[in-house]
Amino acid sequence: MTGTHHDVAEFALIDRIRARVANRGDVILGIGDDAALLQVPAGKHLVVATDTLNAGVHFPHDTAPADIGWKSLAVNLSDLAAMAAEPAWCTLSLSLPESDTGWLDGFLDGFLALAAQHRVALVGGDTTRGPLSVCVTVHGFVEPGRALLRTTARAGDDVWVSGTLGDAAAALDHWRLGTAHDEVLRARLDRPTPRVALGLALAGTAHACIDISDGLMADLGHVCRASGVAAELDLEALPASEALRAAYEGEQRHALQAAGGDDYELCFTAPAGSLDDIARLAAQAGTAVTWIGRIVAGEGVQVFDADGQAWLPSKVGYEHFG
């Protein structure tokens, strides 16, 4: 308990961050004052999301600083992607057990590499002492009426998902067991790809959208509840990476795909008959998408196996709080 919020060592960290930050024309005033001054484009809505990653909860303690930096921004950009928002700015609140410039430099390597990919300017934040924790808030823009919501799925819609499912959960499973390590899977856990271009491309065509952080069934369940509909998924249609197929098969692979979290793929619904449009938009965005089921009247998410039998994973979701 120090009684102050900042100190000499902390200012050195802030200077270190400030020296590496890129700018944008719409940042009137960035890091260095009590707050940032920003210019939202006329006629656009501001889109804001925030997410915290805590050591040992959201990433294994042995995660490289650069990967923590990347992931802390990626999970937030993924929220903007799911809204079809164009990313613009972020703030970073970093709690560190001790002042460690080597750790910070590594963290910034990952954080700023992803920020540069999406032209996101880091405009403010704080560093403070505490258990390792990273809180990021991202800001983006969307034209009024163009945002993709959770409330707008309709019975009859197709359900789609980007990329592949279960890779991050597989890497976590490997890490937990300590038995195997696959670079490709681990990279999917440590460096998720926010599907920003896909989200933007889908605006105006897709109906509802969410990013998959808690697992496909759980997250699509949120969409269904918010929209007052149900979903029927085809288990065999769920996309799997080669790495996942090589490491897991059958029931275990299916559970990872349907219920494993941390993939940060987009799950979205679109009107039946928009198959060609979706394929074209996804190709333009450079992101593979797969049809996995449909929205129907009712409630809940049901998954059907190759025999048309209702299927449940052995464990749906995990709990933070006991």
User: How many Å apart are CA 235 and CA 34, to the nearest integer?
Assistant: 51
Nearer to a copy of itself, 197 or 279 (CB): 197
Residue 38 CA: distances (Å) to CA of 11, 41, 76: 23, 10, 19
User: How many Å apart are CA 60 and CA 189, to the nearest integer?
Assistant: 10
Joined tokens for residue 181: 């390590």
Nearer to a copy of itself, 152 or 234 (CB): 152
- The DSSP symbol for 41 reads P
Binding residues: 34, 50-51, 58, 79, 125-126, 150, 211, 213-214, 262, 318
Binding residues for substrate: 58, 262, 318
Q: How far is the CB of 134 from a copy of itself (least distance, A)?
A: 9
Nearer to a copy of itself, 176 or 250 (CB): 176
* Closest C-alpha among 226, 225, 256 to residue 241: 256
CB atoms within 10 A of CB 64: 16
Q: How far is the CB of 219 from a copy of itself (least distance, A)?
A: 9
CB atoms within 10 A of CB 195: 27
Q: How far is the CB of 308 from a copy of itself (least distance, A)?
A: 29
Q: How far is the CB of 310 from a copy of itself (least distance, A)?
A: 22
* Closest C-alpha among 135, 46, 57 to residue 88: 46
Binding residues for ATP: 125-126, 150, 213
Nearer to a copy of itself, 37 or 116 (CB): 37
* Closest C-alpha among 31, 4, 2, 15 to residue 101: 15
- Residues 104, 20 contacting (CB under 8 angstroms): no
Residue 261 CA: distances (Å) to CA of 165, 219, 243, 265: 9, 9, 17, 10
Q: How far is the CB of 269 from a copy of itself (least distance, A)?
A: 14
- Residues 83, 48 contacting (CB under 8 angstroms): no
User: How many Å apart are CA 108 and CA 139, to the nearest integer?
Assistant: 19
User: How many Å apart are CA 134 and CA 140, to the nearest integer?
Assistant: 20
Residue 271: strand, helix, or coil: coil
Joined tokens for residue 146: 């163009």
Nearer to a copy of itself, 63 or 274 (CB): 63
Q: How far is the CB of 48 from a copy of itself (least distance, A)?
A: 5
Nearer to a copy of itself, 54 or 205 (CB): 54
Binding residues for Mg(2+): 34, 50-51, 79, 126, 211, 214
Nearer to a copy of itself, 140 or 239 (CB): 140
Nearer to a copy of itself, 83 or 281 (CB): 83
What b/e readout covers 164-191, taking b as 16+ CB neighbours within 10 angstroms? bbbbbbbbbbbbeeeeeebeebbbbbbb
Q: How far is the CB of 39 from a copy of itself (least distance, A)?
A: 6
Q: How far is the CB of 288 from a copy of itself (least distance, A)?
A: 21
